[in-house]
Homo-oligomer: A and B are copies of this chain.
Amino acid sequence: MSEIRKHYFLDEYCIIASGRSKRPSAPKACGEENGSPSCVFCNGHESQTPAAAAVYKKGEILKDKDEERITDWDVRCIPNLYPALSPDAPDVENRVFEVKRGYGFHEVIIENPLHESRMHLFSDEQLLLLMKVYRDRVMHYQSQEGIKYVSLFKNWGKKAGASLEHTHSQLIAIPVMPSTIVKEKKAMAEMENCPYCKIVEKEKGTERQVYENKHFILIAPYYCRVPYEMWMLPKQHVNHLSAFNDDMLLSLGDCIRKAVSLLDRTIPELAYNYMFFQVEYDLSYHFNVSIAPVTSIAAGFEKNTGIYINSVPPEIAVGHLLEKAL
Q: Which residues of A contact B (CB under 8 A)?
A: 1-6, 8, 10-13, 15-17, 19-20, 82-86, 89-90, 92, 96-102, 104, 149, 151-155, 159-162, 170, 172, 174-176, 178-182, 202, 222-223, 273-277, 290, 292, 296-301, 303-307, 309
Looking at the assembled complex, report how far the CB atom of A42 sits from the nearest CB atom of chain B, in whole angstroms.
Answer: 22
Contacts of A223 in B (CB 8 A): 97
Known interface pairs A155-B299, A161-B297. Does A97 touch B178 (Cβ–Cβ under 8 Å)? Answer: no
Contacts of A1 in B (CB 8 A): 89-90, 102
Looking at the assembled complex, report how far the CB atom of A143 sits from the nearest CB atom of chain B, in whole angstroms.
Answer: 19
CA distance A309 to B85 in the complex (A): 10
**Residue from the list B8, B17, B151 in contact with A301, Cβ < 8 A:** B151
CA distance A307 to B174 in the complex (A): 10
Known interface pairs A3-B102, A4-B101. Does A305 touch B15 (Cβ–Cβ under 8 Å)? Answer: no
**Residue from the list B4, B96, B149, B300 in contact with A273, Cβ < 8 A:** B300
Known interface pairs A19-B82, A304-B277. Does A5 touch B99 (Cβ–Cβ under 8 Å)? Answer: yes
Contacts of A176 in B (CB 8 A): 4, 13, 307
Contacts of A160 in B (CB 8 A): 297, 299-300
CA distance A30 to B160 in the complex (A): 20
Contact B175 A4 (CB under 8 A): yes
Contact A4 B305 (CB under 8 A): no
Looking at the assembled complex, report how far the CB atom of A10 sits from the nearest CB atom of chain B, in whole angstroms.
Answer: 8
CA distance A4 to B306 in the complex (A): 22
Contact A174 B102 (CB under 8 A): no
Contact A12 B102 (CB under 8 A): no
Q: 9 nearest interchain CB pairs? A: A2-B102, A161-B299, A153-B300, A178-B305, A275-B304, A273-B300, A161-B297, A6-B98, A4-B100
Measured CB to CB, the nearest residue on chain B to A96 is: B202
Known interface pairs A300-B273, A301-B84. Does A179 touch B13 (Cβ–Cβ under 8 Å)? Answer: yes
Having A3-B99, A151-B301, A151-B304, one finds 20 other A-B pairs with CB under 8 Å, namely A2-B83, A2-B89, A2-B104, A4-B85, A4-B102, A17-B84, A19-B83, A84-B301, A97-B223, A149-B305, A152-B304, A153-B300, A153-B303, A153-B304, A180-B306, A181-B305, A274-B300, A275-B303, A275-B304, A298-B298
CA distance A299 to B30 in the complex (A): 15
Known interface pairs A19-B82, A84-B309. Does A297 touch B159 (Cβ–Cβ under 8 Å)? Answer: yes
Contact A179 B149 (CB under 8 A): no
Measured CB to CB, the nearest residue on chain B to A171 is: B301
Contacts of A309 in B (CB 8 A): 84
Measured CB to CB, the nearest residue on chain B to A98 is: B6
Contact A15 B97 (CB under 8 A): no
Contacts of A6 in B (CB 8 A): 97-100
CA distance A159 to B172 in the complex (A): 27
